[in-house]
Chains A and B, each alone.
Chain A
Amino acid sequence: MTTNKRTFSYMMNPTVGKYHYGPGHPMKPYRVELTNCLVLEYKMHKKMNIYCPSEASIHDMTRFHSEDYVDFLSRVTPNSQEFQRFYSIYNLGDDCPVFTGLFDFCKLYTGASLLSATKLNHKQSDVAINWAGGLHHAKKFEASGFCYINDIVIAILELLKYHERVLYIDIDVHHGDGVQEAFYFTDRVMTVSFHKYGNNFFPGTGSMYEIGAETGRYYSINVPLREGITDDDYYELVFKPVISTVMQYYRPKCIVLQCGADSLGGDRLGCFNLSIKGHGKCVSFVMEQNLPVLVVGGGGYTVKNVARCWTYETSLILNEQLSNDIPFHDYIEFFAPDCQLHPNLFNPKIENGNSRQYLELIVQFVNEKLRLLAHAPSVQMHDVPPDLLDTDNHIGGKPTRRADASNEFYDDDNDVDRTD
């Protein structure tokens, strides 16, 4: 694939709007349907392949999650006494209610993410978009934060079969704890999350000192922010420098970008003050890196703004200019009275708690940790691209023998100093 002519895939499932979390719950799957509607209305199908993804199977989900958790999810029904005993074990209930069609919904968005990963793996597409996915809080054996099955982890596991290093970027206002935890010990996935931290904001993890452990040490980056951050601060002072440094030191083979729209201003649960254009700048910066990208959705609890944001970002990915007036369609009343693509989302009531020094301090800390990456020995082993191995005629699979110095004392290959 030449860099000029990139192919794009868009996952569109017509039934995604049929699921409802329950009365009063802020998460509304309908926002994806609204996004799909807008994307078609703006005629963006001219530039991308549209797929209706198949559902994921239980086997796919158990690649990450525990079997009994997935089994429970597949069998549970709402309003049934016998299952309610188990709700607390799997953290179901208030935040993660059991609603009709829960497991179908999970299969749907997980299947879409998995298909996107497959498309990237087989180079059938340069960029794959799945706005229904991005549910980054789900853990191995429990639900969390409106997320039941962590489709991002499953997609990354699929990507890892074909790419040595995967970079995960999370611009949701909440910390991407599910994904970070899953890959905390490995250096093949670097997780970078920009989120609000402090004052018991969900989920409570994500301080800048969480850098990974053992082999994955320094492969988790957290950028904790205070509330009310605006476009310029976010992009110029934080996002661009951090991601540039990460690209420089980590050199991933592909990127997974979670575009949670709750970092926009005026979100029902979020407390940042980004505009749609500011949010989109982050997406275009990632696109400029010229790597295969898997774009997923995530948070976002003011439905009309989510649809606007994700439609705008789709247009940025396709490099297409959109008019600010939303074309007329059946659901235009959701965007009334202005019917604009870029309304003013700035909420003056939220004060910006991020001073310039605070942001610079965090970025400095992150840079220090990233510089240590270059010296970490484990990286160098993985840095060897597969091309080199091929030219050494490794198809047969015979390992090369190392030349030993005559004064070297050791028993055999397994005699190492460190005990892991």
Chain B
Amino acid sequence: MKLTLTPSKKSNSSTTVDIDSSSTSDCDVRIHEGSSYQANIPPLDPTPLATDHEAILFWRPTDSISENDLIEYIDFARRKHRMNEEQALAILQICKYKISTSKLLMQQYTPEIDEWTVEEKCLFEQAYKFYGKMFSRIRQMLPDKSVGDLVRYYYSWKKTRLHKSLMDKHEKQSQLMPYDDDDADSDDDERNTTSIPLPTKDLDHRGKMSIDQTGLDEQECCNCEVTNINGSIGPMHSTPKGILCDECFVYWQNSGLMRPELYPSKSSIKKIKRPPKNIALDLDSLIAMNLYENASTSNTDNNDTIDPVEKLEDDIRQELAIIQSHNQAIDLLTNQCRDGMETMRIPFLTSSSSPFMINNSNSTTVTPTSNWSTEEILLAIQAFGKYGKDFDAVARIIGSTKTVADVETFFLECRERYQLDMVIEINSKPITNVQRKQQSSTTNNDLNSNRSNTNDIVLC
């Protein structure tokens, strides 16, 4: 019975075909009975502690270190010694939670750093392209690394940008569609990048050029840069690609490609292609990167030279970490708000239990009761005043202790007692703009007096 290879697993329809072929194996599929299949049950033997399996205790939670210290320590381990978290915690635990001693111990204990040189990385990528996931074959190309190391590296490499680099994608795209080489805008929407998009700069030189050119009498073809002074060559055509001279325009219309240049262009700087999406290039950052490189060679403090690209990657990682922590904070706050809103409603209604208990229970299922407490009646009357006969809204205001049906019955029964009709009538008078100013003060007074009247009626 095959687990992966049965196609019938996924769809119902193909099973009728498969049942015939596998009917012979059906009789094999049953629970086997007999001594050769069952396990031997050991007798119950509650003897106290025998030898323990030797296991290394990595970590035991403790109160002796504050959380911030711990986080700082782990970051330190990661940055300085490239240790992952479990090793850092293990060392801390061994040193009995003293941070200073564990830092010293870390320097002595260097973990096997899985350093991959650039050649090894290239070799791995080539081998992967050739063999796919057959790690034993890949190992033949990289005999220094064990299969386990290769697997590890594969998983960490898989999702990095090197694997799905944007430059490679752009290359592929441009190979497929050569005439769209210059115009990368339409490609960007189709491209499915897994990386998080960064702000891009618009480097549409062509756009700037066309604006410049329309102001001048002299017009230049974007492709062959023939200047058209006062119509010497012929009509210039304005196209999405820019302003083209007649020949270039005809060529473009027929083939969709730009007419190839037969001679070096006057100003090849104008032909700067736009960088692929998500890459922001500007002169300042390039200069800065250059400075990094120059600076790092003279820097003797660090053991390894800071690769500027790596530094940028680190920066990106930090920013992403900050984004995620912001997301978490937002999540926490929204949850708190939600809880807060509920606690504001519920403690007002339930008379017996204390507000603190309700905060902890964090539940919204309060069972509906048939008795109307004083607070509920108060709420109901005010709600009626505000919403009129909208029982739904009133029920919502009171909360989950009263259903809509309860509110309706209350309304019908206690109409006269609490003069609900009057309450609704007074408060539901439509206030027009003209009357608003006049009536605002009076209606407020009325409302207040009404409310106090109804209060009196209720309480007495």
Q: Is the CB of B194 within 8 A of A336?
A: yes
A319 and B255 alpha carbons, distance in the complex (Å): 67
Asked if B314 CB lies within 8 Å of chain A CBs, one says no
Interchain nearest-CB distance for B134 vs A (Å): 6
B133 at the interface (CB under 8 A from A): yes
Q: Is A84 an interface residue (CB 8 A)?
A: no
B89 at the interface (CB under 8 A from A): yes
In the complex, which residues 208-246 of chain A have their Cβ closer than 8 Å to any Cβ of chain B?
A: 210, 213
Quote the shortest CB–CB distance from B36 to chain A (angstroms).
7
Q: Are B10 and A51 in contact (CB under 8 A)?
A: no
**Given A94-B4, A162-B46, are A205 and B57 neighbors across the interface (CB < 8 Å)?**
no
B345 near A: Cβ within 8 Å? no
Nearest-CB residue, chain B, relative to A212: B31
Instruction: Report if A185-B31 is in contact (Cβ < 8 Å); known contacts: A23-B134, A94-B4, A339-B324.
Output: no
A115 at the interface (CB under 8 A from B): yes
Which of B12, B18, B87 gathers most chain A CB within 10 Å?
B12
Residues of A contacting B44 in the complex (Cβ-Cβ under 8 angstroms): 160-164
Residue B415 at the A interface, CB < 8 A? no
Cβ–Cβ contact A12 & B54, under 8 A: no
Bound: A177/B317 CA distance, A: 46
Question: By the criterion CB–CB under 8 Å, are B133 and A22 in contact?
Answer: yes
A359 is an interface residue with CB less than 8 A from chain B: no
Q: With an 8 A cutoff between CB atoms, is B41 at the interface?
A: yes
Give the chain B neighbours of A141 by CB distance below 8 A: 36
Residues of B within 8 A of A183 (CB): 38-39, 41
Q: Is the CB of B41 within 8 A of A49?
A: no
Query: Is B435 part of the contact surface with A, judged by Cβ < 8 Å?
Result: no
> Does A78 have its Cβ within 8 Å of any Cβ on chain B?
yes
Q: Are B89 and A50 in contact (CB under 8 A)?
A: yes
Give 1 or 0 for each of B8-52: 1 = CB within 8 Å of chain A CB.
Answer: 111010010011001000100111110011111111111001001
The residues in A between 319 and 357 inclusive whose CB is less than 8 angstroms from any CB of B are: 323-328, 330-334, 336-337, 339
Closest to B11 in A: A199
> Is the beta-carbon distance between B135 and A20 smaller than 8 angstroms?
yes
A402 at the interface (CB under 8 A from B): no
User: Which residues of B lie under 8 Å from residue A12 when comparing CB positions?
Assistant: 58, 86
**Are A20 and B147 touching (Cβ within 8 A)?**
yes
Chain A residues with Cβ under 8 A from B1's Cβ?
200, 202-204
Pick the residue among A20, A47, A160 that contacts B133 (CB under 8 A): A20
Contact yes or no, A325 B53, CB < 8 A: no
A111–B56 CA distance with the chains assembled, in angstroms: 12
- Is B452 an interface position by the 8 A CB rule? no
Taken together as a complex, chains A and B put the C-alpha atoms of A347 and B225 apart, in Å, by 57
Mark each residue of chain B from 151 to 167: 1 if its CB lies under 8 Å from any CB of chain A, else 0.
11011100110000000
- Cβ–Cβ contact B325 & A328, under 8 A: yes
Which residues in chain B, 322-338, are within 8 Å of chain A measured between CB atoms? 323-325, 327-328, 331-332
Is A64 an interface position by the 8 A CB rule? yes
| B217 at interface by CB-CB < 8 Å | no
Minimum distance in angstroms from B39 CB to a CB of chain A: 4
| A35 CB, min distance to chain B CBs, angstroms | 13
Chain A residues positioned under 8 Å from B87 (CB to CB): 14
Within 8 A of A (CB), among B307-331: 317, 320-321, 323-325, 327-328, 331
- Complex alpha-carbon distance, A22 and B138, angstroms: 12
Within 8 A of B (CB), among A116-152: 118, 122, 139-141, 145-146
Measured between alpha carbons, how far is A333 from B157 in the docked complex, in Å?
A: 11
Check B53–A200 contact: CB distance below 8 A: no
| Complex partner residue of B55 from A30, A45, A52, A153, CB under 8 angstroms | A52
Say whether A282 faces chain B, with CB atoms less than 8 Å apart. no
Is A185 within 8 A of B61, CB to CB?
A: no
Assess whether A22 is in contact with B38, with CB atoms less than 8 Å apart: no
* Given contacts A205-B29, A323-B331, A184 and B38 within 8 Å (CB-CB): yes
A140 pairs with B39, CB closer than 8 A = yes
Indicate if the CB atoms of A177 and B31 lie closer than 8 Å.
yes
B86:A333 contact, CB within 8 angstroms: no
- The answer to whether B59 touches A115, judged by C-beta atoms less than 8 angstroms apart, is no
State which residues 161-199 of A face B: CB under 8 Å: 161-164, 174, 177, 180-186, 188-189, 199
**A87 is an interface residue with CB less than 8 A from chain B:** no
Pair A64/B328 contact, Cβ less than 8 Å: no
Q: Is the CB of B46 within 8 A of A332?
A: no
A122-B52 contact, Cβ under 8 Å, with A45-B59, A202-B3, A205-B31: yes
- Inside 8 A of B49's CB, which chain A residues have their CB? 122
* A292 at interface by CB-CB < 8 Å: no
Let me know if A51 and B54 touch, CB within 8 A.
no
Closest CB pairs A-B (n = 7): A18-B148, A333-B159, A204-B29, A328-B321, A23-B133, A325-B327, A182-B39
What are 30 pairs between A and B in contact, CB < 8 Å? A14-B86, A18-B151, A20-B151, A22-B133, A43-B67, A45-B89, A46-B67, A50-B60, A51-B56, A52-B57, A52-B90, A79-B136, A140-B37, A140-B38, A141-B36, A146-B3, A161-B46, A162-B46, A182-B37, A184-B33, A200-B19, A203-B1, A203-B29, A205-B29, A205-B30, A323-B331, A325-B331, A326-B324, A327-B321, A328-B324
New A-B pairs, 13, CB < 8 Å, besides A64-B39, A100-B135: A23-B134, A30-B151, A50-B89, A51-B55, A52-B57, A54-B54, A141-B36, A161-B42, A161-B44, A181-B31, A200-B19, A202-B1, A337-B194
Q: Point out residues on A near B: beta carbons under 8 Å.
A: 12, 14-15, 17-20, 22-26, 30, 33, 36, 40-41, 43, 45-54, 63-64, 78-79, 94-95, 100-101, 111, 114-115, 118, 122, 139-141, 145-146, 153, 157, 160-164, 174, 177, 180-186, 188-189, 199-205, 210, 213, 269, 271, 323-328, 330-334, 336-337, 339, 386
